[in-house]
A and B are shown apart, each in its own frame.
Chain A
Amino acid sequence: MRLMEIDRRALLAGAGAALLSGLAPRRVEALETSETLFLAARKEADGNYAVVVFTPEGRDVVRVPLPGRGHDVTLHEASGRAVAFARRPGTFAAAFDIHGRTEPVFFSSPEDRHFYGHGVYSPDGRLLYATENDFENGLGFIGVYDTSDGYRRIAQFSSGGVGPHEILLAPDGRTLVVANGGMETHPDYGRTILNLPTMKPTLALIDRMTGDIIANHDLGETQRLSSIRHMTIDGHGSVWFGCQFQGDKAHRPQLVGRMKRDGVPELLSAPEDVLHGFNNYIGSVMTSRDGELVATSSPRGGQVVYWNATSGKVLGCDKVQDVCGVAARPSNDFLVSDGAGELLAGGPGHGGKPDLIRRDSKVSWDNHMVSLLG
């Protein structure tokens, strides 16, 4: 195992020269006793950004410095390939080996495009699909990158909407599921939403072989301001999605929904207390190891809510301030991360009292976290 450290100046200069240095012996030991690994982006104590691979105890095993704030990390388990994307509207992506066996590869979105923070690998790990914004025309695209050729961009197709955010691969290995958030942005105006009066979020199903849009679902006119952003696929093959409501807090619409196989998206009914705790905002949506639980987090409300994947009912809730990242743990609960540098174990079985695993208050965990279960 190697710890990857990249000289920041070299990176910014585009040289990408990596300096490899050995792990401290204690860390090697930690690694050998555990096969489960987690991946997430974070802000470091010195104000810089990185993506890290870490053990269930929260010890770093691989660390790749990033030129700016990261967002999601996409993992291809079999090959150990992973890629961290810039937070929207960023333009960089960092591909790295989760065991640090190779030097990271940095690549960028094309001119007039920026990344939207998420991507997904093809089943064989050869291709990477990334959500992109064609900001001059306000159109969403899926960029296709060839991992065997330095992540060269080889194709693109429409995302079926505006502002594509998270993208997943359906269990058939062929259908891409894309959450088109519906919100148009342009670098001239930062993160300002440019099309609020006309925004129309969708859940699009796309054939990754042809780029054909198989289906493009919306939630109806009354839910037009609920931007569909994050998703997970449960053990039944249902797509769970979480929305971010763009209207006022005086309204508390349902934000979590489910689209069963060959069905249409339907919002679930969370009790009023739970809705208030979301504060109109879902940050991450994640399935448990056995596929029977779904966790939905809200940094703005400081809560993680756990759902029964079969019944669609709320099972429990953990209150954690500035929480966002949730990843499956081998024990069938969830690792939960927050902006105050905490890693916690939470789930419906924790009775609303998540266990603190590690706290490093100088760092801030970014929105998403994924796990490689040993």
Chain B
Amino acid sequence: MRSFLATLLVIVALPGLANAAEAEDAQNHRQFVANAVEGYVRPEFDRFAGTLHALDDEIGTFCTAPDAAGYNRLSARYRGALEGFARIGFLRFGPLIEDHRLERLLFWPDRKSTGRRQAQAAVRERDESVLKVESLQEKSVAMQGLLALEEVLFDDARDALLADGEDGRFRCGYAAAIGANLSGIGDTLAAEWHDEEGYSALLLRPGDDNRAFRTEQEAASQILGGLTTGLQIVRDQWMRPVLGSRPGKPKPLMALFRRSGNSLAMMEAALGGLKDYLAALRIKPMLEEEWVWMDASLQFQLQSALKVLGEIEPPLSSAVRKPEGYGKLQFVSGIIEDVRESAGSELAVALKIQVGFNALDGD
């Protein structure tokens, strides 16, 4: 009788246990998403909007009275905006991918240098439609963002800008329109992420009537995807093209923002951002004992990648021509792939976020 009762108790208790475990998973997933949104996404989009306004303002200041010191300040602001972008550019869900905002900020990869060629042509032909933000927004997305701005303000443009002649003034006008376009997008992104009824509400409040996420796990999967996508972008879109497909045969001309000397700064900012994103997720309390090591391990690998990246002497396009620089970039690229693998498989399992063989990277 006692054993019968015990059996009965087990039978009754098991569904209860399963429900309790499910509830705990859901609670963890909810916390995971909230940590991301509040601890990283919102503050970073605010910061990014700030860097774009600083850039926009500096374009105005410099163009009023162009001089060498002002040009240096402008260069620093530009770099700040690129770094700001690198820290949010991997959050490819919600506001950033609406209305092609991502591509309006940065059209990359740009295999055929569409942005540069179109921006060049606009300057050469004095295309007045690029001088107003409204008409600029009607043009190719590649002409509207950070990469087009590099063509307008950097590369060989310095002398023309400092000479303050017709060419320089046209460039200033085009840059001002890009600056206004960028800061407008930055403000919209920040505002949408803060909108309590907007996209973040979808992430933070999954449910049957939620058009994007029915369960906490689906929302958490989107957040974890930010990490793996980010690592993939840095490696596949920024590093591997420079390393080339044959070992030891670099393609320095493939480096993103090579012409303004910002390739390494972008990579460092992106990796730093991904490291901070992971830290903001605060996964440790969500991991069962056998997986607790993952948190520190992933952080450590990203830290190592950052350290080695920091040892490469800028500019990247020169550094990778030498075996030492090439080897270091290759090493960093390898670590990133390892972290991505771990994050997409082991970490997903540890966090009870399902990622399938066919679902992970579809066809």
Q: Which residues of A contact B (CB under 8 A)?
A: 43, 71, 87-88, 117, 165, 186-192, 194, 196-197, 229, 244, 247-250, 252, 272, 276, 281, 283, 299-300, 302, 321-324, 338-340, 364-367
Contact = CB atoms under 8 A, between A and B. Distances in A.
Contacts of A187: 245
Residue from the set A87, A187, A191 with the largest chain B CB neighbour count within 10 Å? A191
26 contacts: A87-B363, A88-B363, A188-B111, A188-B241, A190-B236, A191-B361, A196-B100, A197-B107, A197-B141, A229-B363, A248-B98, A250-B98, A250-B212, A276-B211, A283-B362, A283-B363, A299-B356, A299-B362, A300-B359, A302-B356, A302-B359, A322-B356, A322-B359, A339-B359, A340-B357, A367-B363
Interface centre among B212, B213, B361 (most CB of A within 10 A): B212
Contacts of A197: 100, 103, 107, 140-141
B59 interface: no
A221 to B, nearest CB: 13
B262 to A, nearest CB: 19
Contacts of A249: 93, 202, 211-213, 222
A247 B213 CA distance: 15
A338 B359 CA distance: 10
Given A250-B199, A300-B362, A196 B356 contact: no
Q: Indicate the member of A188, A190, A250 with the most B CB atoms within 10 Å.
A: A250
Nearest to A272: B211
A185 to B, nearest CB: 10
Which of B94, B109, B240 counts the most chain A CB atoms within 10 A? B109
A351 B69 CA distance: 74
Interface string B225-245: 000000010001100110001
Contacts of A340: 356-357
B363 A188 contact: no
A340 B359 CA distance: 11
A192 B237 contact: yes
B354 interface: yes
B103 A196 contact: yes
Judged by DSSP, the binding face of B is loop
A189 B363 contact: no
A281 B361 CA distance: 11
A365 B109 CA distance: 32
Contacts of A196: 100, 103
B353 to A, nearest CB: 13
Contacts of A88: 363
Given A117-B363, A248-B97, A283-B363, A192 B109 contact: yes
A87 B362 CA distance: 10
Contacts of B232: 190
B109 A188 contact: yes
B258 interface: no
Given A191-B361, A196-B100, 10 more contacts: A190-B236, A248-B199, A249-B202, A250-B199, A283-B362, A299-B356, A321-B356, A322-B356, A322-B357, A366-B358
A250 B241 contact: no
Contact of A43 (B140, B214, B245, B357): B357
A338 B199 contact: no
Query: Which of B214, B222, B245, B363 gathers most chain A CB within 10 Å?
Result: B363
